[in-house]
């Protein structure tokens, strides 16, 4: 696979990206492409390593190692190296429904487990996959299979995020009639409304949805299942129902002053910005000058983001593009090390410092990293009109609980301070699914408010009702959602037909 000595002859080269001060002028994707010759060189670095951890998709020390989709990474890289791009797409499509999504937003679990990364730089598999899928689209190779024969079976998929889309694609391919219900005005779930346009252009989602509709999948948007239509109605109408509504219940920060005007959940903020961008035909100048957001204009405003993860970073990049005068990200946990510790060996997921695009842009604008580590909010400070004017914080330090052995973050007396703020965005993760859907279907929940199933299975406590994605496993990655969507499709197919060839 690849060139046997390629990893020694050639250095890793990533797709180029526009400079931070240039890309913040718009909401466009900011990564370019290497030349075809350079892409083939990068693919040649995939060594004949014998045991491709990149495609293992297993859990090590509680963390994913390798691709959960079990993409045949060495094979696709080899085909790119040899210039056989059409066959590379065919090979990739055997295990992956939507490479155009993961090649933009996935943290690349495959690369973290790459053997080349043990002593050097991993193969640029994520960029290779983006090359494959964009080549395929450009040459008319991407099709959603239209079944020659329909089975007469019907399936309702509730939620059109990555797991719902993957399940719908697989079941339609099998010949079942699939209808996808989405409470928002457009399909895509958090792909569309939880990820900013500069990471995943929404027109990339639209072109895939168009193919799915052409293949016979029906999308019903602006239908809130559990409100506009009941679970019982869907159960009577369809042979099977799949719940893929995501873990859309945001974690709150319940401290004094939480009712201050100017405190928003990150997911609501990101959705509003994305919707306004799409509603106005991607007119960036309009968006940057708009004052009719629920939070008003951000020009000259001080923004504090609570949460240092991917969503927090997305809030930072979005706030910068909307004209914020400063952005601070508060992170409870200690600053990660720059390099792997001995306690975090390959091929575990590397628990190292990651400076993402939003943080890069803040550094370029203001000269310093926006993240404040080991810090939490103790109060939202309001003025006499109830409007947010600042936050009170305290520093934290890790202490081991003698009873459980777990490390807990404890406040440090004397480290209290107050930060000025016009807007606070809470990006502290999600607690699980919103229960009005599960209640409508009468399915059991587990201790984390996810829809419960038996271990390794996808059917809920109610026969004929299945679940997948974040609603099943809790907040996770797009690649895991797609893997679960494929798996639940297989389970549903077998339950209806008595066997499955998915």
- Amino acid 50: pLDDT: 86
Higher pLDDT, 119 or 354: 354
- The predicted-structure confidence for 243-254, as pLDDT tens digits, reads as follows 999 998 999 999
- Amino acid 325: pLDDT: 97
Q: Is the pLDDT of residue 76 over 90?
A: yes
Bridge partners for 392 per DSSP: 379, 418
Q: pLDDT grade, residue 24 (50/70/90)? A: very high
How far is the C-alpha of 432 from the C-alpha of 477, rounded, in Å? 14
- The predicted-structure confidence for 414-441, as pLDDT tens digits, reads as follows 999 999 999 999 999 998 888 999 999 9
Helices (H), 159-201: 162-174, 190-193
Structure tokens at 502: 């998915």
- The predicted-structure confidence for 375-429, as pLDDT tens digits, reads as follows 999 999 999 999 999 999 999 999 988 888 888 999 999 999 999 999 999 999 9
Cα angle, residue 178 at apex, residues 176 and 179 outer, rounded to 5°: 160
Q: Which residues contact 218 (CB under 8 A, 6 or more apart)?
A: 177, 178, 179, 180
Q: What domains sit in the chain, N to C, each tagged with a CATH number? A: 6-138 (1.10.1060.10), 154-249+431-497 (3.50.50.60), 263-426 (3.50.50.60)
Of 79, 75, 72, 66, the C-alpha closest to 95 is: 72
Q: Is the pLDDT of residue 108 over 80?
A: yes
Cα angle, residue 488 at apex, residues 484 and 491 outer, rounded to 5°: 145
- Amino acid 4: pLDDT: 84
- Amino acid 284: pLDDT: 87
CA distances from 24 to 288, 346, 381, 421, 424 (A): 11, 35, 30, 22, 21
Q: Is the pLDDT of residue 1 over 80?
A: no
Q: pLDDT grade, residue 368 (50/70/90)? A: very high
What secondary structure letter does DSSP report for 187? S
Percent of the chain with pLDDT over 90: 91
Q: pLDDT grade, residue 87 (50/70/90)? A: very high
């Amino acid at each position: 696979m690849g060139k046997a000595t390629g990893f020694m002859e050639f250095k890793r080269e990533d797709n180029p990206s526009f400079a931070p001060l240039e890309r913040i002028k718009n909401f466009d994707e900011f990564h370019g492409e290497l030349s075809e010759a350079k892409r083939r060189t990068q693919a040649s670095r995939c060594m004949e390593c014998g045991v491709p951890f990149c495609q293992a998709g297993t859990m090590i020390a509680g963390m994913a190692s390798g691709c959960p989709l079990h993409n045949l990474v060495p094979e696709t890289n080899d085909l790119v190296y040899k210039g056989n791009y059409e066959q590379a797409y065919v090979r990739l499509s055997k295990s992956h429904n939507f490479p155009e999504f993961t090649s933009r937003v996935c943290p690349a679990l495959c690369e973290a487990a790459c053997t080349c990364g043990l002593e050097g730089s991993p193969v640029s598999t994520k960029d290779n996959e983006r090359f494959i899928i964009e080549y395929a689209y450009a040459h008319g190779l991407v099709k959603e299979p239209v079944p020659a024969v329909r089975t007469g079976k019907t399936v309702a998929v509730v939620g059109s995020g990555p797991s719902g889309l993957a399940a719908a694609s697989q079941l339609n391919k099998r010949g079942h009639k699939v209808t996808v219900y989405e409470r928002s005005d457009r399909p895509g779930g958090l792909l569309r409304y939880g990820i900013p346009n500069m990471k995943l252009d929404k027109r990339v989602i639209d072109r895939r949805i168009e193919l799915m509709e052409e293949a016979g999948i029906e999308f019903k948007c602006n239908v809130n299942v559990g409100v506009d239509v009941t679970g019982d109605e869907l159960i009577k109408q369809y042979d099977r129902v799949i719940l893929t509504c995501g873990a859309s219940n945001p974690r709150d920060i319940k401290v004094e002053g939480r009712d201050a005007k100017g405190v928003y959940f990150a997911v609501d903020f990101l959705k509003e910005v994305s919707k306004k961008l799409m509603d106005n035909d991607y007119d960036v100048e309009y968006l940057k000058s708009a004052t009719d957001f629920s939070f008003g204009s951000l020009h000259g405003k001080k923004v504090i983001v609570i949460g240092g993860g991917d969503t927090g970073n997305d809030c930072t990049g979005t706030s910068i593009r909307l004209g914020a005068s400063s952005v601070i990200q508060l992170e409870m946990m200690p600053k990660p090390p720059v390099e792997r510790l001995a306690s975090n060996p390959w091929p575990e997921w590397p628990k190292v410092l990651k400076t993402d695009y939003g943080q890069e842009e803040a550094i370029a604008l203001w000269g310093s990293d926006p993240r404040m580590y080991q810090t939490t909010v103790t109060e939202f400070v309001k003025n006499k009109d109830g409007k947010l004017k600042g936050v009170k914080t305290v520093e934290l330090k890790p202490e081991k609980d003698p009873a459980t052995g777990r490390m807990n973050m404890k406040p440090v007396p004397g480290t209290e301070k107050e930060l000025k703020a016009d807007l606070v965005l809470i990006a502290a993760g999600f607690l699980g699914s919103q229960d009005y859907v599960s209640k409508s279907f009468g399915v059991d929940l587990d201790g984390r408010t996810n829809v419960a199933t038996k271990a390794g299975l996808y059917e809920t406590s109610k026969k004929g009702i299945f679940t997948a994605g974040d609603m099943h496993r809790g907040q996770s990655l797009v690649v895991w959602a797609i893997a679960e969507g494929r798996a639940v499709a297989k389970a549903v197919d077998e339950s209806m037909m008595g066997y499955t060839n998915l």
